[in-house]
């Protein structure tokens, strides 16, 4: 294992400059450490693949203070992907309710922002902002990992 | 007759009266009459044991002449020789402080079990035979530690085995497993009896007579002493449920009625440890070091194997049965360590280790009574022992839950439980012996410390499982949903046992000095501990104050609760829905079951436990890709039973089948067999003598 570590070396991209812009008031209270619960409200899994690479060794979002957790009870923020389907509408509301305050909601990807190609489909209840209050939106179908990391750095301020 | 004798004989008479009452009383009065008689007999027996422990001096003789007399300055508190009661040898009884410990423990367990039985037996167990055998079993349990000659000991031992077998079989009409468990128990206990019989008879043949005083004075050649020790230790280990002779225990304990399980697990198996102490340390007077290392190794193996099996089983009473194997294993670790230290010329740790072993016997009896009685209450209320089908009993059986919680805390060897104190004493003796124990000690003692620590850790997991899965959360079956609290006699007995646990946990100083006197029978002339509030070890540095630990715990808990309340009151609070993964509503299927709780442990100890799993997929007729049914089965069999006993049983069955050819039905043949066997026996006798 040691040989593997030495041979592979460092694969993480060099950290880009911190993006400009103010940290939202609620996020400032979190003091640079944001615990995130991911909710798939009806996504096609494209966004999930990009989230996985954003938290993988190359983009390594954790070095900026963002971390994925296993339960909304542990989380400061929800990261919602996909249009909100009818089956997931109540679950999303309850998950949002289960996060302690102050809480943030990130709508990730075009579907989460405005239902994308699924707009008007019979099983779709609406965009994320129609169900819960959204603080940050990340455009893209799917958004690139750099965009996800930049949005998260906007919350952690690091 | 002195005080001990009077009390002891009264207790035996009480048992006889109870048995008579069970046989003659009308059906309505039978249960309370027998129960209360047995309970009073138990209380008087316990008083006799305590009186023997508190240092009775004079030796009273009731009938005939008492030969031998007090040996080594710590002779029996009471002894009796009744030469006419039995042909040839007569009956010889004596209670010294060592026997007194076991008499007292048996008496107190009996009080709880007998009162409990009044409520528990009301449905189907109120028959004459069962009610009459229970007091006889108690009498046998009281007689074994008081027997003072080989014949008396063997006779009482067999009486104990037969009466307990009848009690185990009480419910054989309701469940087929009871019969199988009884068969295992009968075979194992009688094989044990044969081993003890052979050992003690060989011992008596080498000594001047068969009374224990004469055995004590005998000088056996080392080879003969080793044979005697190994044979008796094997027999006693099978009674104590020591691996690999434990197979009867996790079968018989669950299938017996619960108060009988309590008596067997808290009083009867102790007598296995008593036998090893009495024969090995007292009568044989020590021996080579490897005897005791063997005992220690068997104890350590049992402790680990027992608690591992307990951790993965989901049958509540089977779990408690395996926990008995674990605790008797710990007792034998103490006994083995005591014998080893005594041989290695370390008197202080030897006395300490034996005191720790005896204290663990007392503590185990207390918490195991509580646990078996409350498990019986659960069984009474729900009709099932399967933890996976229980749950949610906290609101339905509040008293039982509280009592089980006390027992589970005590059994998990954490402060402020009582097992913590005895395991702490045991660890102290092992650690303090290290400097002078030689190479064998330097290798074994750290290993033994490790085994005790690991078994304590697994015990915590086991009892968290038993309590959390069995009693908390929501009911997983209709039976658990409809559970109703048990009748008052059962609750009273459980509460009494739980109070005993709490007293032992908070004030072991009441008991340990008396146990020091029992240790004095084997290792005379030393005090083990001193102190009223704090246990101070004599001879080595070390002290513990369970009362102060408990007080500190209470203060810490109150302080934390107060602090939380204080800080939480300042902030705005929001009532939120219980987190149910967003789907809801919560159902019992979302809970941990006993199997799922134990799964990580099972995975860690995969190589030891060798669990079996079986996936059975039935495809549809139309296509192999469409599945009609998937059946999954997982089981953790007792590996020792699987590997050791199954081949033995198969071999015995094969020999039996082959031997059929010998029995053709011809009388002439059978007469020929008899003739040749007799001639052969005579030839052997001629050749040997």
Residue-level pLDDT at B61: 38
Neighbouring CB atoms inside 10 A of B548's CB total 13
**Distance of alpha carbon B283 from alpha carbon B279, whole angstroms:** 5
Contact A71 B574 (CB under 8 A): no
Give A146 to chain B, closest Cα distance, Å: 30
Contact B580 A94 (CB under 8 A): yes
Contact A91 B577 (CB under 8 A): no
Structural domain boundaries enclosing B382? 288-536
Q: How many CB pairs under 8 A join A and B?
A: 20
Structural domain boundaries enclosing A45? 39-156
List of chain B residues whose C-beta atoms are within 8 Å of the C-beta of residue A94? 577, 580, 582, 584
* Mean pLDDT lowest among B67-71, B143-147, B173-177, B559-563: B67-71
B594-646 pLDDT tens trace = 999 999 999 999 998 888 889 999 988 888 888 889 999 888 888 888 889 99
Closest CA to B334 of B356, B366, B359: B356
**Distance of alpha carbon B90 from alpha carbon B82, whole angstroms:** 6
Average per-residue pLDDT in chain B? 89
Overall average pLDDT of the B109-115 stretch: 95
Residue-level pLDDT at A31: 85
Residue-level pLDDT at B526: 67
pLDDT > 70 in chain B, percent? 96
Give A97 to chain B, closest Cα distance, Å: 7
Q: Is residue B299 part of a domain?
A: yes
Confidence band for B533, pLDDT divided at 50, 70 and 90: low
Written as one string, the DSSP assignment of B534-568 is SEEESSS--EE-HHHHHHHHHHHHHHHHHHHHHHH
The answer for residues whose C-beta is within 8 angstroms of residue B154's C-beta and 6 or more apart is B193, B196, B197, B200
Contact B577 A73 (CB under 8 A): no
Residue-level pLDDT at B58: 39
Contact A97 B580 (CB under 8 A): no
Q: Distance of CA B456 to CAs A13, A19, A123, B320, B543, Å? A: 48, 54, 55, 15, 20
Contact A90 B582 (CB under 8 A): yes
Contact A94 B574 (CB under 8 A): no
Q: Is residue A7 part of a domain?
A: no
Q: Is B14 exposed, middle or buried (0-12, 13-18, 19+ CB in 10 A)?
A: buried
Contact B579 A98 (CB under 8 A): yes
Q: Is residue B387 part of a domain?
A: yes
Task: Please tell me the total count of domains within chain B.
Answer: 1
Give B586 to chain A, closest Cα distance, Å: 13
Residue A20 has pLDDT above 90, yes or no: no
Confidence band for B55, pLDDT divided at 50, 70 and 90: low
Contact A97 B583 (CB under 8 A): no
Residue-level pLDDT at B76: 63
Q: Is residue A87 part of a domain?
A: yes
Give B463 to chain A, closest Cα distance, Å: 27
Closest CA to B400 of B527, B497, B536, B509: B497
Give A96 to chain B, closest Cα distance, Å: 9
Overall average pLDDT of the B184-208 stretch: 93
Q: Is residue A10 part of a domain?
A: no
Residue B130 has pLDDT above 60, yes or no: yes
**Distance of alpha carbon B258 from alpha carbon B368, whole angstroms:** 11
Residue A119 has pLDDT above 50, yes or no: yes
Closest CA to B407 of B442, B446, B378, B432: B378
Confidence band for B73, pLDDT divided at 50, 70 and 90: very low
Give B401 to chain A, closest Cα distance, Å: 30
Angle, vertex CA B293, rays to CA B199 and CA B263, nearest 5: 60
Which of B571, B582, B586 to mutate to probe the A interface, most A CBs <10 Å? B582
Contact A92 B576 (CB under 8 A): no
Overall average pLDDT of the B99-128 stretch: 92
Pull the structure tokens for residue B170.
């009480």
User: H or E segment at A68?
Assistant: strand A66-68
Confidence band for B503, pLDDT divided at 50, 70 and 90: very high
Task: Please tell me the total count of domains within chain A.
Answer: 1
B214-239 pLDDT tens trace = 999 988 899 999 999 999 999 999 99
Q: Is residue A70 part of a domain?
A: yes
Residue B553 has pLDDT above 60, yes or no: yes
Residues of A with CB under 8 A from a CB of B: 71-73, 90-92, 94-95, 97-98, 101
List of chain B residues whose C-beta atoms are within 8 Å of the C-beta of residue A71? 579
B651-671 pLDDT tens trace = 999 999 999 888 888 999 999
What is the SS3 assignment for B634?
strand
* Mean pLDDT lowest among B130-144, B180-194, B627-641: B627-641
Chain B: residue nearest A92 by CA? B582
Token look-up 């006693």 returns B236
User: A24 versus A114: which is more confidently predicted?
Assistant: A114
Residue B74 has pLDDT above 80, yes or no: no
Chain B: residue nearest A87 by CA? B583
Q: Is residue B188 part of a domain?
A: no
Confidence band for B528, pLDDT divided at 50, 70 and 90: confident
Contact A92 B583 (CB under 8 A): no
The answer for residues whose C-beta is within 8 angstroms of residue B320's C-beta and 6 or more apart is B253, B261, B265, B310, B368, B371, B372, B375
B481-497 pLDDT tens trace = 999 999 999 999 999 99
The answer to whether B547 and B421 have CB atoms below 8 angstroms apart is no
Chain B: residue nearest A73 by CA? B579
The answer for residues whose C-beta is within 8 angstroms of residue B648's C-beta and 6 or more apart is none
Q: Is residue B409 part of a domain?
A: yes
Pull the structure tokens for residue B110.
């009996």
Chain B: residue nearest A39 by CA? B582
Give A41 to chain B, closest Cα distance, Å: 12
Residue B60 has pLDDT above 60, yes or no: no
Angle, vertex CA B357, rays to CA B545 and CA B325, nearest 5: 115
Q: Is residue B344 part of a domain?
A: yes
ipTM of the complex: 0.82
Q: Is residue A5 part of a domain?
A: no
The answer for residues whose C-beta is within 8 angstroms of residue B676's C-beta and 6 or more apart is none
DSSP B147: B
Chain B: residue nearest A96 by CA? B582
Residue-level pLDDT at B66: 39
Q: Is residue A141 part of a domain?
A: yes
Confidence band for B63, pLDDT divided at 50, 70 and 90: very low
Residues of B with CB under 8 A from a CB of A: 574, 576-577, 579-584
User: Which residues in B619-646 are b (16+ Cβ under 10 Å) and which e?
Assistant: eeeeeeeeeeeeeeeeebebebbeeeee
Which of A98, A99, A103, A131 to mutate to probe the B interface, most B CBs <10 Å? A98
**Distance of alpha carbon B45 from alpha carbon B138, whole angstroms:** 10
Confidence band for A71, pLDDT divided at 50, 70 and 90: very high
Contact B579 A72 (CB under 8 A): yes
Overall average pLDDT of the B335-353 stretch: 91
B316-343 vs B222-240: helix crossing angle, rounded to 10: 160
CATH number at residue A67: 3.40.50.12280
Q: Is residue A15 part of a domain?
A: no
């Amino acid at each position: 294992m040691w040989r593997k570590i030495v041979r592979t070396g460092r694969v993480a991209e060099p950290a880009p400059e911190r993006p400009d812009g103010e940290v939202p008031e609620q996020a400032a209270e979190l003091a640079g450490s944001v615990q995130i619960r991911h909710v798939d409200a009806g996504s096609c899994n494209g966004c999930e693949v990009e989230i996985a690479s954003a938290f993988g060794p190359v983009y390594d979002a954790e070095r900026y203070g963002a971390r994925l957790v296993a339960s909304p009870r542990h989380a400061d923020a929800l990261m919602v992907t996909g249009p909100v389907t009818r089956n997931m509408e109540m679950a999303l509301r309850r998950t949002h309710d289960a996060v302690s305050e102050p809480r943030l909601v990130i709508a990730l990807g075009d579907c989460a922002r405005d239902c994308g190609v699924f707009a008007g489909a019979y099983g779709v209840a609406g965009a994320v902002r129609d169900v819960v209050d959204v603080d940050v939106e990340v455009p893209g179908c799917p958004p690139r990992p750099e965009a996800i990391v930049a949005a998260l750095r906007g919350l952690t301020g690091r | 007759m002195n005080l001990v004798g009077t009390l002891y004989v009264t207790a035996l008479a009480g048992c006889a009266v109870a048995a008579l009452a069970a046989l003659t009383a009308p059906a309505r009065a039978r249960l309370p009459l027998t129960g209360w008689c047995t309970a009073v007999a138990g209380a008087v027996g316990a008083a006799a044991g305590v009186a023997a422990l508190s240092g009775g001096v004079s030796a009273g003789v009731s009938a005939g002449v008492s030969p031998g007399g007090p040996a080594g300055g710590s002779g029996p508190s009471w002894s009796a020789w009744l030469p006419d009661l039995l042909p040839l040898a007569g009956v010889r009884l004596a209670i010294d402080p060592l026997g007194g410990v076991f008499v007292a423990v048996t008496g107190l367990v009996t009080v709880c079990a007998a009162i409990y039985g009044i409520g528990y037996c009301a449905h189907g167990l109120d028959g004459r035979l069962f009610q009459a055998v229970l007091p006889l079993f108690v009498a046998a349990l009281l007689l074994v530690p008081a027997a003072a000659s080989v014949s008396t000991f063997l006779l009482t031992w067999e009486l104990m085995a037969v009466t307990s077998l009848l009690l185990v079989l009480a419910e054989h009409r309701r469940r087929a497993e009871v019969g199988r468990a009884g068969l295992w128990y009968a075979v194992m206990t009688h094989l044990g009896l044969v081993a003890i019989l052979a050992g003690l008879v060989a011992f008596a043949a080498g000594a001047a007579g068969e009374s224990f005083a004469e055995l004590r004075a005998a000088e056996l050649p080392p080879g003969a002493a080793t044979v005697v020790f190994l044979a008796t230790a094997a027999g006693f280990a099978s009674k104590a449920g020591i691996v690999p002779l434990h197979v009867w225990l996790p079968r018989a304990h669950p299938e017996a009625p619960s108060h009988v399980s309590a008596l067997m697990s808290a009083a009867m198996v102790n007598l296995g440890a008593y036998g090893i102490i009495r024969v090995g340390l007292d009568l044989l007077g020590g021996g080579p070091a490897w005897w005791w290392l063997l005992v220690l190794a068997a104890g350590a193996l049992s402790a680990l194997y027992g608690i591992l099996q307990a951790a993965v089983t989901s049958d509540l009473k089977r779990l408690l049965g395996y926990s008995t194997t674990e605790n008797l294993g710990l007792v034998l670790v103490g006994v083995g360590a005591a014998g080893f230290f005594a041989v290695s010329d370390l008197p202080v740790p030897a006395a300490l280790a034996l005191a720790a072993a005896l204290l663990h016997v007392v503590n185990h009896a207390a918490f195991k009574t509580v646990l078996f009685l409350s498990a019986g209450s659960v069984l009474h209320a729900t009709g099932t022992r399967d933890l996976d089908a229980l749950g949610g009993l906290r609101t339905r059986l509040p008293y039982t839950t509280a009592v089980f919680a006390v027992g589970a805390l005590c059994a998990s060897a954490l402060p402020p439980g009582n097992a913590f104190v005895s395991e702490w004493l045991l660890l102290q003796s092992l650690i303090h012996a290290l400097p002078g124990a030689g190479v064998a000690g330097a290798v074994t003692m750290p290993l033994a410390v490790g085994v005790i620590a690991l078994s304590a850790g697994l015990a915590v997991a086991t009892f968290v499982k038993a309590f959390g899965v069995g009693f908390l959360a929501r009911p997983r079956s209709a039976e658990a949903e409809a559970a109703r609290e048990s009748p008052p006699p059962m609750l009273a007995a459980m509460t009494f046992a739980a109070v005993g646990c709490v007293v032992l946990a908070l004030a072991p100083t009441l008991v340990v000095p008396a146990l020091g006197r029992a240790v004095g029978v084997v290792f005379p002339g030393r005090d083990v501990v001193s102190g009223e509030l704090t246990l101070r070890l004599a001879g080595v540095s070390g002290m513990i104050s369970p009362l102060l630990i408990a007080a500190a715990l209470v203060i810490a808990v109150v302080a934390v609760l107060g602090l939380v309340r204080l800080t939480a009151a300042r902030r705005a609070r929001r009532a939120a829905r219980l987190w149910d993964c967003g789907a809801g509503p919560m159902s019992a299927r979302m809970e941990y079951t006993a199997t799922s709780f134990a799964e990580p442990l099972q995975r860690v100890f995969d190589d030891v436990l060798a669990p079996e799993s079986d996936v059975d997929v039935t495809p549809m007729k139309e296509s192999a890709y469409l599945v009609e049914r998937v059946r999954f089965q997982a089981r953790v069999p007792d590996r020792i039973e699987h590997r050791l006993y199954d081949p033995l049983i198969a071999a015995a069955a094969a020999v039996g089948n082959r031997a059929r050819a010998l029995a053709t039905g011809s009388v002439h043949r059978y007469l020929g067999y008899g003739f040749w066997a007799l001639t052969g026996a005579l030839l052997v006798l001629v050749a040997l003598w």
